Amino acid sequence: MKVLITGGAGYIGSTICSALLDQGHTPIILDSLITGKIEFTRDRIFYRGDILDTELLKQIFTDHPDIQGTIHCAALIVVPESVEKPYEYYAENVWKSTNFFHQLHQLGYPRVVFSSSAAIYDVVPGYMVNESSPLKPNSPYARTKYMMEMVLQDFCVAYGMKGIALRYFNPIGADPLMRSGIHAKDPSHILGKLVDVARGKQPVFNITGTNWPTRDGTGIRDYIHVWDLASAHINAMQHFDSVIQATDNRACPYQVINLGTGRGVTVREMVIAFEKVYGQTLEKREVDPRPGDVAGSYANADTALSLLNWKAEMSLEQGISDALKWGALRKERLGYE
């Protein structure tokens, strides 16, 4: 099958492309390279441009009329930056995506898989969330994801689009064949920071927040290997119509699915696992939570199992090991550590 992937030069999009290629499918990449890497598009069908570029979209669908659906990963994704630059985030993630979905509708390509985020959930007692759990997006970034879920849902009702919003928990690791991985120069996520400390880029790892009401006082997350995440997208595209048919509300061909492991891991547990895989202890210190930090959540992943026939297979240790391997390759692949 042929699939359009926006943001296919990014961390998750490029991994989805690798997984599609490995299974004999054809990804068509649309990426502006605003943050993505040209290195991740080599030997792949790649259109460099913005999702807002109507002419380019027409060209893509003229060149590839047999595209079965779109996986929409393109977005700006850095939470603290979204607090400083809300205009850019709402413009890039909401305004442009709204136009993009409308173009897809007008061009007659109604199937959309949307990269949403567990960051839109409220914190609930016990920390496990299912798709009906209360939402409370806590940053401009998270609000853009929430808003785009609403836009997609409304477009499904009004225009006959068909949408699957995949709420990712915390992606870790890299493509197991090391074709791509995290590319941010200063990763803002925990595992990127741990790798930076292990590689001597940072002197110390900050445990941000030790007084949360969790089992050890540190934040709890659900770390999912990016390769598992990628394979869920393939299942979503392959089972697209049956997933949509399974919706309770016939008038709204739209589904929301959590993508997580179903296992909560605290920051301290993550550090212990990291040190075990790395084989050395790291310099650590306990500091206050960052603005906007929350105790966290982990996924109830039952819907993914029943609708996508998918569950996470790869371990936390595999994710850590792949992140370390990719960390050692970054200089050669991207030109920077």
Interface residues toward ligand NAD, by CB under 6 A: 6-7, 9-13, 31-36, 50-51, 73-75, 77, 92, 96, 115, 117, 168, 170-171, 189
Does residue 141 carry a catalytic annotation?
yes
Of 7 and 253, the one with the shorter C-beta distance to ligand NAD is: 7
Q: For 189-307, list the strands marked E by DSSP.
A: 205-208, 220-221, 223-225, 254-259, 265-266, 284-287, 298-299
Distance CA 17, CA 3 (A): 9
Distance CA 57, CA 50 (A): 9
Three-state SS for 121? strand
CB of 69 to ligand NAD, least distance (A): 16
CB of 106 to ligand NAD, least distance (A): 18
Per the structure block, which two tokens stand in for 183?
A: 């590319």
Residue 175 DSSP one-character state: -
CB of 280 to ligand NAD, least distance (A): 26
Distance CA 291, CA 259 (A): 26
Of 155 and 168, the one with the shorter C-beta distance to ligand NAD is: 168
The single residue of 47, 127, 141, 223 carrying the catalytic annotation is 141
Of 95 and 159, the one with the shorter C-beta distance to ligand NAD is: 95
Of 30 and 324, the one with the shorter C-beta distance to ligand NAD is: 30
Distance CA 69, CA 111 (A): 5
CB of 251 to ligand NAD, least distance (A): 27
Q: Return the bridge partners of 5, or none.
A: 29, 71
| Active site positions, annotated | 141
